[in-house]
Each structure stands twice: as structure tokens, then as C-alpha cells.
Structure 1
């Protein structure tokens, strides 16, 4: 059915549930697992009076975020391999999470995306946006959304 599954995780309790289910699904299908953590870029201010931060400081912070993201993905990879699932941990550096998820799925030839959703409704969904909704809208492969 599925041969390679991508699971997106940010290390939050909700995404840990998606990870657990993705590992179980991969194990039951004999599918490989690609673990993705999307790392944001440092926000830049282009307004007058904005804080002036050195490029070295920005680089340090972005490296710290990337290291944290890699650690999250590596921990999931380790858990998957302990369950007998062949897994690959990857990070993407981007502020556009949904696009990064879709790109990683395509690059790694995944045939299913597993991710969590907070299930927000109404105004909070409009104000906060929904990466899950963007993935669902633009994906050409199946997406399994867990709450």
C-alpha cells in the first residue's frame, strides 16, 4: 500500500502522537519513514528603529535552532529504528512549513504524509493559519491528519 511515509514533527506533544502513529503504521506496512522537522529562519526587521542584530548572532541562533530540529528528528529516527522501521531524519530551513513538507515528501519519494492538527476552528484558525490545511490543499499524495 504505502512504501515510504513522511511524518512532520516539531517535538510538541501533539506531533509526538502523530510520530507514534506513523511509526506504528510504517511498522505494520513494512514502509520506510522520513522524519521531517522544519526549522524557521531568524526573523528580520526592515523597519526603522528595529533591533540591529549582527550576522554572527543571527547565524548562532539559526544554528541553535537547526541543531534542536535535527535532535528532534534524530530522536524519532532512533525510536522508529527501535521498532524495526527503516527511518531517515531530515530538517528543512524555511518559514513556509507547508511548502517544506510537500517538497520533502516529493524529494524523498513519499507516498503518504502523516501530520498532526490542533483542530482549531473559527476565528483562531483564520488568525493562526493552518499548515495542515495548506498541506491538504496542495498535496498530490494522501495526507493522514491526526488530532
Structure 2
């Protein structure tokens, strides 16, 4: 059914549920798993909301964020391999999370994207936005949303 499944995570408990489901689904289908996380770029200007840091400090902060992303994905890759699922991981630096997920899914040639959703409604959804909603409505690849 599925050959390559992408699971996007931010390391939260809720996205952990989506990760577990994606691993189980990949094991059932004999699919490969691609785990991904998106880390932001450090704001570079006063108008972006940054603190005045040197380029070296900005690079250090971004490196720290990327290393944190790799730690999250290392855990997922190990859990997948423990279940007999071939897994790879991708850390993407981007401020546009939904775009990064969709683009990574295309580049990785996956046939399913698995994500978690908080299920926010009303004003909180409008104020906080929903990366999952954006992926769901804009992706040409099927999306499985878990709550």
C-alpha cells in the first residue's frame, strides 16, 4: 500500500503519538519511514524580532537548534529500526513549516504524510494557525492527521 511514509514532528508529546502511529503503519505495510523536523532560522534584523547578535552567535544558535532536531530524529530512527522499519531523517531549516514539509515530501518521494493536530477551533485556530491544516489543504500527497 505505502512504500515511503513521511512523519513530521516537533518533538512534542502530541507529535510523538503521530510518530508511533507512523512507525506501526510503516511496519504493517513494509514501508520505509522518513522522519523530519523543521527548525527555524534565527531572526536577522530588529524588525524580525531578533536580539543584536554577531553572525558567529547566530550560527551557534542555529547549529544548536539543528542539533536538537537531530536528537529528536535519532530517537525516532532508533524506535523505527527496533520495529524492523528502515528509517531515515531530515532536518530542514525554514520559517515556513508547511512549505518545508510539503517540499520535503516531494523530494523524498513519499506517498503518505503523517502529522499530529491539536484540533484547535475558533479564535485559537485563527490566532495560532495550523501547520497541519496548511499541509492538509495544500499537499498533493495524501495526509494522515492524528489527534
Relative to the length of structure 2, the TM-score reads 0.96
Find the counterpart in structure 1 of residue 46 from structure 2. 46
What secondary structure is seen at the aligned counterpart in 2 of 1:11?
A: coil
Please, which moves more after superposition, 38-47 or 66-75?
A: 38-47
Residues of 1 paired with 2:133 and 2:8: CA distance?
Answer: 14
Q: After superposition, what is the alpha-carbon deviation per residue over 1:56-83, rounded to whole angstroms, capped at 9, x for unaligned?
A: 1111000000000011111101100010
Residues of 2 paired with 1:89 and 1:53: CA distance?
Answer: 30
Trace 1:1-147 onto structure 2 (pairs within 5 A).
1-47=1-47, 51-147=51-147
Q: After superposition, what is the alpha-carbon deviation per residue over 1:94-121, rounded to whole angstroms, capped at 9, x for unaligned?
A: 0100011001100010000000001000
Q: After superposition, what is the alpha-carbon deviation per residue over 1:1-38, rounded to whole angstroms, capped at 9, x for unaligned?
A: 11000000111000000000000000000000000010
Please, which moves more after superposition, 16-25 or 35-44?
A: 35-44
C-alpha contact (below 8 Å) 2:46/2:52 kept by paired residues: no
Point out where structure 2 has 5 or more consecutive residues left out of the alignment: none
Residues of 2 paired with 1:75 and 1:14: CA distance?
Answer: 15
Aligned length in residues: 145
**How far does residue 51 in structure 1 lie from its aligned partner after superposition?**
3.5
Residues of 1 paired with 2:68 and 2:51: CA distance?
Answer: 25
Residues of 1 paired with 2:36 and 2:80: CA distance?
Answer: 13
Q: CA RMSD in A?
A: 1.0
4+ residue segments displaced more than 2 Å: 44-47
**How far does residue 44 in structure 1 lie from its aligned partner after superposition?**
2.8
Point out where structure 1 has 5 or more consecutive residues left out of the alignment: none
